[in-house]
Homo-oligomer: A and B are copies of this chain.
Amino acid sequence: MLIAKVIGTVVATRKNSNLIGSKFMIVETLPVMGETQRLVAVDQAGAGIEDLVLVALGSAARMQSGSENSSTDAAIVGIIDNPEEIFIK
């Protein structure tokens, strides 16, 4: 998974029917994880703007109950309470 910050949202009115009800969040990986990258992830953990989150890519984004047939390749699967909880030796 990637550690990222939720920095935005995007709305797509027309979309695959299996994405109806999905909340699209724009996330940006933390510099501490290496070169930053941005992508759109479906929220599965109740995240909000500026939350630090765990983002799972690929088929891992469809493991959550109810998302098995979702046309998504990225999901927010966990929320980190604050930066201090990231321990790096």
A residues sitting closer than 8 Å to B (CB atoms) are 1-3, 7-19, 24, 26, 32-34, 36-41, 44-46, 49-50, 54, 56-65, 69-75, 77-81, 85-89
Contact B72 A12 (CB under 8 A): no
In the assembly, what is the distance between CA of A2 and CA of B73, in Å? 9
What copy number does this chain have within its complex? 5
Given contacts A13-B81, A14-B78, A17-B65, 20 further A-B contacts (CB under 8 A): A1-B24, A1-B40, A2-B40, A8-B87, A10-B85, A11-B80, A12-B80, A14-B45, A14-B79, A15-B45, A15-B78, A16-B45, A16-B63, A18-B63, A18-B64, A26-B87, A26-B88, A49-B89, A56-B71, A72-B77
